[in-house]
């Protein structure tokens, strides 16, 4: 039975400590199935309503290898580049630069913290889109950071697992006051 959803409904987001965020997500078999397409729609709505730049299926309690990247300037990331919301299915990082860069990250599943997280500056990735088409592309900068952050969710990690020291964690309110681009 197919469910219908209110266009303004935001789905519950798993928070740090919930077991699903530590699980390895399963590969998606049939991308074109109603179940998969409905999940993608749920995720698109949820990330939009939550004001995020990405969301992974485990964050809405679905342990499958799907995430949405939807970079755009917003209150949480005012300098984010604009991109079309994109469903990323069964992703792989094929190559990653040796060079890494630390950058501030937040997470819908860790709403009260920000962390200074080292990420590869450049990655070559492969994934399937919502229509089942295979893509291979190179991401750099903030988009590469989003991809790596969301990919971590599929592997049972959050940005808190990636910080090099607890000294690299701050409260969200402190970050807005001292580190936000318009502080």
Active site residue 150: yes
Query: Do 105 and 58 meet the contact criterion of CB atoms below 8 Å apart?
Result: no
CA R_g for the chain: 16
* Active-site residue (options: 12, 150, 164, 172): 150
Q: How many CB atoms lie within 10 A of CB 127?
A: 23
Residue 75 CA, chain-centre distance (Å), reads 17
Q: How many residues does the chain have?
A: 183
What tokens were used for 16?
């740090």
DSSP 93-149: EEEE-S-EEEEEEEETTEEEEEEEEEEESEEEEEEE-TTS-EEEEEEEHHHHHHHHH
Q: Which of 157, 122, 158 is nearest to 142 (CA)?
A: 122
Task: Give the residue numbers annotated as catalytic, written as ranges.
Answer: 150
């Amino acid at each position: 039975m197919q469910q219908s959803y209110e266009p303004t409904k935001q789905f519950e987001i798993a928070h740090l400590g919930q077991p699903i965020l530590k699980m390895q997500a399963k590969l998606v078999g049939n991308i074109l199935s109603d179940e998969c397409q409905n999940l993608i729609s749920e995720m698109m709505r949820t990330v939009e309503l939550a004001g995020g730049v990405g969301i992974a299926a485990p964050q809405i309690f679905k342990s499958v290898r799907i995430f949405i990247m939807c970079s755009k300037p917003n209150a949480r990331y005012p300098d984010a580049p604009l991109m079309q919301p994109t469903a990323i299915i069964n992703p792989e990082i094929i190559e990653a630069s040796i060079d890494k860069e630390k950058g501030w990250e937040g997470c819908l599943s860790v709403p009260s913290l920000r962390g200074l997280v080292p990420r590869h500056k450049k990655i070559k990735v492969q994934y399937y889109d919502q229509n089942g088409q295979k893509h291979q592309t190179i991401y750099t900068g903030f988009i590469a950071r989003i991809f790596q952050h969301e990919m971590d969710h599929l592997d049972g990690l959050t940005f808190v697992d990636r910080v090099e020291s607890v000294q690299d964690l701050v409260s969200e309110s402190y970050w807005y006051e001292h580190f936000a681009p318009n502080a």
